[in-house]
Each structure stands twice: as C-alpha cells, then as structure tokens.
Chains A and B, each alone.
Chain A
C-alpha cells in the first residue's frame, strides 16, 4: 500500500498535513501526536518582524465551526528560525513554513531569510482575512496575486505553495494565475469571512468584528473549491477546510487534492491528524486501493 504523495518533486510519507495556525510549530501537540507520522507540519504564519495580532476576544464558536481573528500574531522570522525550525529538525517530517506580510517587500524578507534553512516548502499566505493591510488583498485580485507569486518565485530557494482565499468570485481564475506565475502548488481554502453577534451584550463576538470561519461547517464549500481549482490547474492542490475524519480527507482527494490539511479539528481532538492517517490506510485496505494516485480526482 502506497500512501506516499509528491509535490514539486518532494515525496511526502502520507498526504496528511497540519493546517497553518492550528498547530503552532508542533511544540504544543508533540505530547499528543508523534510528529514523525505526519506528512508535513505546516507552521503558523511568520512575518519579517514580530506581530502582536488583534485584541481579544479572538475566537468564537459557531454551529459546527469557529470564527478566529488572531491577526497573525507571530514572533517574527528571526526567533522562528532559532527556536521553531530548530525544534522541527528533530523530527522526520516535511516542514512547510507559512509566510505572511503587509507588502511584497515584507514577504520577500522572510522568504530570503528562509533560503538557507532546513525547510522543504514555503506556503505564501495571501488569504488571511484578519489583518488590515496585505495578506488577503494579494489573494483576491489576479494581478496582485500574479505579481507576488512571481516576486516570491524569483527569490525562493524552496518550492512555493500559494495559499488561496475562498473569499473570491472565481477560484479558478486565481488558481490559474498562481500557476501561470510559477507557483509549484496551491493550497485552499483559507477561512471564509464571517461574523457573530452576542445578542445579550449587543456586541460583536470578536473584537475584530469579523473573523475567519473554519471547521466542519465549511467543508462542502472547501470540497467544491478544491474540485474547481484542481480541474483548472496542473500543479498539485493541497485541500483543507473542515477535515475531521479520513472520509472527509478522501472526499478532498477524490475532488482532486494531492494532499490535505487538518485545521480547526485539532482543537476538538488533538489526535485528529493521526486518526485521519490511520483511517485513510484502513479505507485503502477495505477498497483494495494500492496507490492513492488511483483515486485522486476520480470524480469527474
């Protein structure tokens, strides 16, 4: 049985990754999960300097999901390299670093600092709905996305994944723009912009007013968008959005995803990633699938 998948020429032992921002750099989850078993650890968005993020409350539960407006709080690339990347070196798993910034220059500064680091791929976050400048602005416009993709590709020493936003009219156009500008892969979906109101206090549930919706509630939207993107481009698609079980993950793979990521469900059950990996193997045995490649994009 072969659960191995390949992205930009890099083999992954299985298709299951952590979704950026839901797993830190793995430190807080190593007590629960043997990180060696993961296809990859995708780290929290990191910028050129430390970012303080948004005021609290930053999270709110919603039916079958949650809203977050963390605002990309992160310790900055220098401490991240010294501490987080050093930590991940201990493990036999792929490391994908999620990069954020307010301007093209800020993204490039991070990409450059990572050039000589032990990092397998970069994931460029152009889709965070929770910061005022940068981030999502690059992910909602074909021209801006093309420009940043090209700029990053010129500097990057590692293959580049562009992380796309679902908060767009036509995901196919953006996926194609990323591919045409040199992206090695795309990942989607980031969170869907949402809002919750506390009717007793007559105020927003989040200090930021709006936040990004994630969790099982968004899965059907995510599967649809992954399907559309996978059929629009030839580069690999990493699918995510509400994955809770192996069945969910397999839906994404059948929609066309090469790999998948588990996000908000880590908060519900810290063992979710391992359960998804084991469940995929069980499904392959039951259905007599020898290679995941044989079911990828099998619905048409």
Chain B
C-alpha cells in the first residue's frame, strides 16, 4: 500500500526541549522534553487538564510556546534561526508549515456546509492549488481507504460520529502530511463506532505514518504504539515502550492513573 513515511529522516520528526507554555498566569506546560522518531506511533496519555491537547497544538503552532525549543523534522516551529537570532515567522509562513502536519480533533470539526468529498478536496485545491479533478480522484481513493467511498456526497450531519471522524482523517491525509496528530480521536464516539476509527489508524501506522496519538484507548496504545508518554500536570512523568509502561509502571502517579482507566 501507500508508503506514508515522509520527511527527511535525518532528524527526529518532533523534538521538544524544555517546552513551556503559559496562558496568562497559568503555567500549563512545565518543561516538556521528548523525541518522536520518523515512522513512530507515539502515544500520549494522562489525566484531563494535564496539557496533552495544548502540547499537540504547540506542535502545529495553533498555540505559541512561551519557552524552550520545539522542532518538527529539524525545523523550529514558529521561528527561523539566523545565526543565534530567532525571527518570528509571518502568519503566511506558519500556514505553509502546517500543510505538512495533519491534525484530527476530538470533535471532528468537519466543515458542515461541505459534503464529505468537498471537505477532503478543500485544502489540496485551495492551499496546494491542485487541479480539482486530480484532487477528486485522490479524495475518492482516500475515502475508499477509510471505507466511505459511497458517502462522498453526504454532508457531515448525515454521517455517524465514526464516519465523520474517518472523513476527518481522510481530509488530513489529503494534504500528504509527514506527521499526523490525533487528539483523542475516539473520545466523542459511541463505543461501537470506536473500532472503525482505530482500524483506520492502525492501517496508517502499518504504512509508516509518523503519528502522535493522545488517547484513552490503552488497547490501541499497547498493540500499535511504539512509545508511550504519561503526562501529568504539565510534565512528562514516565516514558517507555507502551507494553512496559502499561504493565509495569514505575511512578506512583502513573500507577494511580492507570488503575483508574484500565
């Protein structure tokens, strides 16, 4: 199938060094250090409010970090470095960088006034200036991949939550990203619809997509994940292989959290 492993391969796909984030006086991220290798499925778990979404949003610069260094595929997020000076990127340059990073949201955020296929071709046509006919062909193939080719003409309101989330994944893939961010992609779904979405994600992982997945699906983390980080209160508490962390957590906070969710 498609090989999704993109990027230069020379750098970690994501590298965070002492990343801090404040919202006003609130200190949300308190020095995050981590590295995501190309082709890796990197799972992020932790209690609600621990800063997982905020960290994901920093990676594609939906939020600006307040301290530390964050780079994607060897390039700083939000800045250009010349000598030892940092220059802030213009809005337009930030937008251009986001093309290479796909994001899937807990609440899908499909464009409700567009059909499934219109959702998928929107960014390729407007952002990459791809010809409509070409974009449609690729979009149909992507909808096929997520099992929704026959729903191409449906509006989001006519689709179930699981179907909407799979369209949202196809929409992100249409930009041919080198990195996919998933923010609790199955948390808003009825239990019987979760499997279809996880299957699509598993397929992506098999095809070499680099993925950062915030999730409460410990089964998925254990089977598909290559690395797992437990975050609490804005810091990384524990890192390791999912199997190890989930079966034999070293820290009390990890143990306490896992005893609640497992």
* A, B bound: no
